[in-house]
Structure 1
Amino acid sequence: MKQVIDYFSKIISIREQYALIAGVDEVGRGPLIGDVVTAAVIINPNKPIEGLMDSKKLTEKKREFLYDKIIENALAYSIARSTSQEIDELNILNATMLAMSRAVSGLSTQPNFVLIDGNRVPKLDCPAFAVVKGDNLVAEISAASILAKVTRDREMKSLDVLYPEYGFAKHKGYPTKQHLEAIAKHGVLSEHRKSFAPVANQLLS
């Protein structure tokens, strides 16, 4: 509870000092396949968006609805990524930080300050602060979470069309029993993250 209060105090102070605040979040650190997707959002204070929260706590229908609202009403937004190849080369943490930096630099309006979900701050050209569970505490981060989640889920559905035997539309690339069994039966795809243990082990078998 004290940590949450401390975060609120810090965020209030930041809002008093900076006019343009971007929120940044990622989706896809845990899956065995595909890009890690990030988003950055600056909310327009004149066009508030109701119902923002951690994307994982929303239904798919609600996420899709809010995705459109964010696209329509945000002062600026950017969606970026690091590929599975970059994840293998850099490791998932560094690839995520790179994707977050790309999301911020891709904003059409550059922020004065950036609030990042999590406990690490990527390399940026402006001051930033990391907020643990920020997708529940900061509207801008919640909005970024929704954009990233919807984007990556759509990509997994597209991958499911190409490779229906893997079940990507259902498990979204996470290491579920179904996914692991599909890798064992059908093999490793070019989109898989070769550095992740279940995939690496399959390549060695």
Structure 2
Amino acid sequence: MRKGEEKRQELLNAAEKLFCQQGYEKTSVQDILGVTGLSKGGFYHHFSGKDEVLAALCSRHAERAAAYTTEALNQAGSPMGRINAVLRGFMPLRREEADFIALLLPVICKPEGRGVSMIYQDALENDFLPLLRAEIAAAAAVQVVFPQVKDMERVILNTVNHAWMTVAAAMVTAREKGQRLESAACLTLLEKYRRTIELLLDAPYGSIEILRVEEVEEINRLIS
């Protein structure tokens, strides 16, 4: 890794730690400089501002999620199991992403955070579209699924994105009230999205699994 890239990664690591500890909105560029010992000129050589740092973190987490999913695919057996592995990997509500999602939620659940939300969604789609396209094609070839819509993969990923954003917004609302969203309520919110994907693929009822019960309970506990 080149020295410039090493310094960029150091900045990202420091910024993410501060964002998690203090919150994104309460962390300043000066805070990041204080931790890294870098000058303002050094910071702005790599990033135009705090927003660009968060965008870079979104891209990095999307790449990690894709790598995690590729590894999970090596353990998946059936065509439907492989599709589910991709969908679960795309879903950010996982233990591995709990800290990052906890810092991201207060930002993207506000109207002014829509830009960050789109950046994260685009980063995830760029890494996951090829994976999902390959698995749907393989499942269709053996007549496990029967895709009904052109550019099916993008439609499905958009559906999963809406699913986790809906659940995340509900978790944030509950947390602001000093409460925790019940896991049963999370699963109820997810059900319509799960069923939509089955209909798009003409897949058997109950065959799509985008988030397991134990995963819902754990992520709810970690970020509430």
Shorter-chain TM-score tier: 0.3 to 0.5
Larger Rg: 2
Please give the TM-score of this superposition, normalised by the length of structure 1: 0.35
Please give the TM-score of this superposition, normalised by the length of structure 2: 0.32
Q: Which has the higher contact order (CA 8 A, sep 6+)?
A: 1
